[in-house]
């Protein structure tokens, strides 16, 4: 008698982009594990349910991941697919990142009504973004910008560009690439103007720590260079104790046997910023991120983060 193959249940948020990402992961897992069957379980998160308030007011840790993690712990799903930038730096003790697939482009991009770049936007341009990190770096670039909060999935935000009389919006390049919306991009914003969120462009495949069967299934999707870079970025963020709604940007890159990371900590108004970089051997990625964070805290970053915490006291988790 042939033993029936167990279906692997994959948890995903229900947004169009999340499902595109999850279906891509499943297609890769099928290619790497021929014969296995997969089933998507759509799970709504707190961040999906509350769309009428700025993310910075909701609490920045686990907004788009907690419900998926609960389903993992309760064994309702076998795998959770997340955008890496949404994943808290401290995971539940029973969970782990089973794989970090190859990173998509981590840049932020500008989409403007007249296809204008940041430099060419009109005076007092109205720019939509839900990210304090983007807001702070935009205001650091040009203090006349009027930044308006922009919530919703990618399709909704694109529609609001015209519906809410905005001059431009800023979104992640990776999401547009995955959804095939690249024709609308006005400018890929260079890192010297805007560093991305920690993990931006990357996916994390989260699993139960003791599930050796699933670990074996997903491990082949792991991209070593992406994993090392994201490890350095997440280590930096953990040291800074910042959730996804703190004005911190970082990007790490692996070249040969060395990983280099650059990061920024901004005041909410963009008036002050601490920016620095550090590098070292790839097998010490977490240490490199931690050391850079410590240096930035000592050089003024701690004061900036205290200002942010004071303004959002009790509203942002774990900062």
In a domain, 132, yes or no: yes
Euclidean distance between CA atoms 151 and 301, whole angstroms:
28
pLDDT at residue 151 is higher than 50: yes
86 noted as active-site residue:
yes
CB contact at 8 A, 235 and 248: no
One domain, residues 249 and 179: no
One domain, residues 215 and 309: no
Pull the structure tokens for residue 67.
Answer: 């419900």
CB contact at 8 A, 263 and 236: yes
- Nearest residue to 227 via CA among 197, 250, 259: 259
Across 33-192, where does the E strand assignment appear?
A: 38-42, 79-83, 95-99, 108-112, 126-128, 146-148, 168-172, 187-188
Mean pLDDT score of the chain: 91
Catalytic residue among 86, 167, 211, 290: 86
Euclidean distance between CA atoms 209 and 227, whole angstroms:
17
DSSP for 93-110, written as a single string: TTEEEEE-PPPPP--EEE
Domain count, the chain: 3
Pull the structure tokens for residue 177.
Answer: 């690439």
CB contact at 8 A, 207 and 96: yes
pLDDT in tens, 229-279: 999 999 999 999 855 467 999 999 999 999 999 999 999 999 999 999 999
pLDDT in tens, 37-81: 999 999 988 876 665 555 555 455 677 899 999 999 999 999 999
One domain, residues 144 and 208: no
For the entire predicted model, the pTM comes to 0.91
Euclidean distance between CA atoms 303 and 64, whole angstroms:
29
- Nearest residue to 169 via CA among 177, 178, 159, 179: 159
Please state, as a whole number, how many other Cβ atoms lie within 10 Å of the Cβ of residue 137: 24
One domain, residues 231 and 276: yes
On the 0-12 / 13-18 / 19+ scale of CB atoms within 10 A, 35 is exposed
In a domain, 138, yes or no: yes
One domain, residues 41 and 175: no
pLDDT band at 169; cut points 50, 70, 90: very high
One domain, residues 80 and 158: no
- Nearest residue to 168 via CA among 119, 107, 133: 119
For residue 81, the enclosing domain spans 1-101+202-222
């Amino acid at each position: 008698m042939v033993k029936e193959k167990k279906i692997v249940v994959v948890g995903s948020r229900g947004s169009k982009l999340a499902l595109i990402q999850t279906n891509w992961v499943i297609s890769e897992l099928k290619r790497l594990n021929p014969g296995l069957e997969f089933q998507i379980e759509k799970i709504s998160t707190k961040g999906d349910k509350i769309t009428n308030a700025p993310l910075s007011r909701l609490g920045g840790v686990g907004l788009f991941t907690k419900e998926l993690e609960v389903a993992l712990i309760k064994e309702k799903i076998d795998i959770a697919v997340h955008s890496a930038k949404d994943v808290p730096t401290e995971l539940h003790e029973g969970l782990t990142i089973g794989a970090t697939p190859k990173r998509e482009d981590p840049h932020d991009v500008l989409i403007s009504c007249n296809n204008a770049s940041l430099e060419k936007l009109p005076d007092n341009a109205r720019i939509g973004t839900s990210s304090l990190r983007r807001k702070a770096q935009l205001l650091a670039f040009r203090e006349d910008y009027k930044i308006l909060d922009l919530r919703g999935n990618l399709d909704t935000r694109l529609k609001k560009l015209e519906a809410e009389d905005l001059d431009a919006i800023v979104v992640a390049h990776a999401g547009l690439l995955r959804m095939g919306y690249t024709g609308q991009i006005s400018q890929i914003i260079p890192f010297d103007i805007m560093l991305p969120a920690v993990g931006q462009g990357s996916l994390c495949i989260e699993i139960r720590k003791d599930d050796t069967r699933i670990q074996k299934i997903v491990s082949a999707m792991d991209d070593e260079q992406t994993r090392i870079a994201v490890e350095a970025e997440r280590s930096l963020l953990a040291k800074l104790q910042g959730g996804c709604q703190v004005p911190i940007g970082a990007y790490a890159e692996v070249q040969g046997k060395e990983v280099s990371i650059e990061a920024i900590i901004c005041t909410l108004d963009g008036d002050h910023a601490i920016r620095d970089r550090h590098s070292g051997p790839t097998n010490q990625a977490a240490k490199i991120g931690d050391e850079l964070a410590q240096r930035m805290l000592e050089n003024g970053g701690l004061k900036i983060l205290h200002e942010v915490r004071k303004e959002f006291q009790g509203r942002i988790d774990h900062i």
